[in-house]
Amino acid sequence: MNRAEVDRMVGAIREAQHRLASPEMTEALLPALNVAYFLLDGHGPNFEDYLAAFRGTSLPFLGAFSTGEEFDAWLKAHFVPPPTGTVQLADERCTLGYSRSSGHPLLLRLPPVEDLRRPGGVEGENRLWLALDKAHAVLGSSSEALEGLHCAALALHFIKEAGCARDFARFLTHLDEPLPPLCSFASREEAEAWLRKHPRPPNGACVQVGEEMLTVGHQRERDQRLLVRFPQLEELDDVKDEEFEEE
C-alpha cells in the first residue's frame, strides 16, 4: 500500500473528527484512523488486491466455485506460480490472498458497497460503525474525503476477513510500542529460505533473525526480495556522538 493511500485514509478520518467536534466521536474513530498504519506491517499486498477488487480495478478472475473444496482442488492444480485475482465462491465475491507468516492461501470476502457507505445491521450497531456512518454524513460534499473514508472502512473489513482482529486490537492498545516480529529464525539462511518460498512476501513486516530485527522488502512487479537491517535508534545516537567528537 503506497503512502498516498495511507495519507488519504488518515486525512479523511482526521477531517471527520474535526467536523464532528465531539470527544466521543473522536475516540470512536481511532481504529479507523490507525488502521492504515497497521496495514504497513506486511498486510499491504493483500489489501492492495482487496481494494482494487472493491473499486473494480482489473484483476484476473480466477473462476466461480460452488464450494471451498472445489476451489481448493482448483488451487492445487494452479498454484505454480501462485495466482492472484478474484474468486466467486457460491454467492460471495472474494480476493485470493496469502498468510503473512506461512504463505498459505486466504480467501478474503469482499463486503457489499452499502456496508461502507451506510453501515447497517449488526455491524452498524457497533460504536465504530455508527461513528463511520456519521463521518460519512459530514464528509458527503467531498469526494476525495469520502474515498479515503471508504478505504479506511474497507480496511476494517479486511482485517476481520484476514483473521487479524486480535492483532489489530493489540496494536491499538500498544501504539507507542514497536510491533512484535512476524516470524523468528535461528539463522539468516533459514530466513532467506522462508523469503524465497513465500508466494507473496509481506513487504514491510519485521522478522527476527537471531538477535537482529530485519524488515522484509518485496518489489512486487519484479519479484525482488530482500531482508533489510535498519539501525536501532541507539546506534544512530552513537554515530552522532562519534561525529560530534571528531569535530
What is the per-residue pLDDT across 56-89, written as a single tens digit (0 to 9) for each?
Answer: 988 999 999 999 999 999 999 999 999 999 999 9
Q: What is the pTM of this model?
A: 0.86
CB 155 within 8 A of CB 35: yes
Place of cell 452498524: 124
- pLDDT given at position 117: 64
Helices marked H in the chain: 3-20, 23-28, 30-39, 44-55, 68-77, 114-117, 121-124, 127-138, 143-161, 165-173, 188-197, 233-246
C-alpha 13/C-alpha 101 separation (Å) is 30
CA angle 160, 163, 166 (to 5 degrees): 85
End-to-end CA distance of the chain, in Å? 42
- pLDDT given at position 215: 96
CB 1 within 8 A of CB 39: yes
pLDDT per position as a tens digit, 129-160: 889 989 989 998 888 999 999 999 999 999 99
- pLDDT given at position 140: 84
Q: Which band of pLDDT confidence, cut at 50, 70 and 90, is reported for residue 118?
A: low
Q: Where are the domains of the chain?
A: 3-173, 183-246
- pLDDT given at position 2: 77
Which of 32, 43, 41, 42 shows the shortest CA–CA distance to 8? 32
CA angle 27, 30, 35 (to 5 degrees): 170
Q: Say whether pLDDT at 23 is over 60.
A: yes
- pLDDT given at position 244: 46
- pLDDT given at position 125: 55
pLDDT per position as a tens digit, 198-244: 999 999 999 999 999 999 999 988 999 999 987 665 554 554 444 44
- pLDDT given at position 58: 83
Helix (H) or strand (E) holding 62: strand 61-65
CB 205 within 8 A of CB 100: yes
- pLDDT given at position 121: 46
46: three-class secondary structure by DSSP: helix
pLDDT per position as a tens digit, 155-185: 999 999 999 999 999 999 998 888 899 999 9
- CB-CB neighbours of 160 under 10 Å: 15
Average predicted confidence (pLDDT) for the chain: 89
- pLDDT given at position 130: 87
The side-by-side arrangement of strands in the sheet containing 92-98 is 61-65, 86-89, 92-98, 105-109
